[in-house]
Amino acid sequence: MTELVGRSISELKKLLAEKSVSAREILAAHLKYVQAHDSDIKAFTCLTEERAQKQAARVDELIARGEALPALAGIPVAVKDNICVADYPTTCSSRILENFIAPYEATVAQKLDQAGALFIGKTNMDEFAMGSSTENSAFKKTANPWDLSRVPGGSSGGSTAAVAAGMAVLALGSDTGGSIRQPAAFCGVSGMKPTYGMVSRFGLVAYASSLDQIGPLARSVEDTAIALSVIAGHDKKDSTSIPDPFKNQGPRFEMALSDNPEKLVKGLRVGVISELVGEGIEPEIVSAIRAAAAVFEKLGAKVTDISLPNSKYALPVYYLIATAEASANLARYDGVKYGLRETEGAAKDSILQMYKSTRSKGFGAEVKRRIMLGTYALSSGYYDAYYKKAQQVRRLIKNDFDNVFQNCDVLISPTSPTVAFKIAEKTDDPLSMYLSDIATIPANLAGLPGISIPAGLGKDKLPIGLQILGNTLSDEVVLKVAHAFQQSTDFHNRQFPGLATVG
Counting the structural domains of the chain, the total is 1
Query: CA angle, corner 275, sides to 272 and 281, nearest 5?
Result: 95
Residues 157-206 have pLDDT tens digits of 999 999 999 999 999 999 999 999 999 999 999 999 999 999 999 999 99
- Give the predicted TM-score (pTM) of the model: 0.96
- 73 falls within a domain: yes
Give the DSSP per-residue string, 92-132: TT-GGGTT-B-SS--HHHHHHHHTT-EEEEEE--SGGG--S
Which band of pLDDT confidence, cut at 50, 70 and 90, is reported for residue 502? very low
**Residue pair 23/16 in contact by the 8 Å Cβ criterion:** yes
- 366 falls within a domain: no
- 279 falls within a domain: yes
Residues 354-385 have pLDDT tens digits of 888 899 999 999 999 999 999 999 998 899 99
Which band of pLDDT confidence, cut at 50, 70 and 90, is reported for residue 245? confident
- 221 falls within a domain: yes
Residues 6+ apart with CB under 8 A from 160: 152, 153, 171, 173, 180, 183, 184, 186, 187, 189, 191, 217
Q: Catalytic amino acids?
A: 80, 155, 179
Mean pLDDT score of the chain: 95
- The residues facing 426 across adjacent strands are none
Mean pLDDT (whole number) for 413-418: 98
Which band of pLDDT confidence, cut at 50, 70 and 90, is reported for residue 248? low
- 186 falls within a domain: yes
- 262 falls within a domain: yes
Is residue 252 predicted with pLDDT exceeding 90? Answer: no
Residues 430-476 have pLDDT tens digits of 889 999 999 999 999 999 999 999 999 998 999 999 999 999 999 99
Q: Residue 65's domain is classified under what CATH number?
A: 3.90.1300.10
- 502 falls within a domain: no
Is residue 66 predicted with pLDDT exceeding 60? Answer: yes
Residue 342 has what pLDDT? 86
Which residue segment(s) compose the domain that 240 sits in?
A: 2-309+403-493
Residue 498 has what pLDDT? 57
- 163 falls within a domain: yes
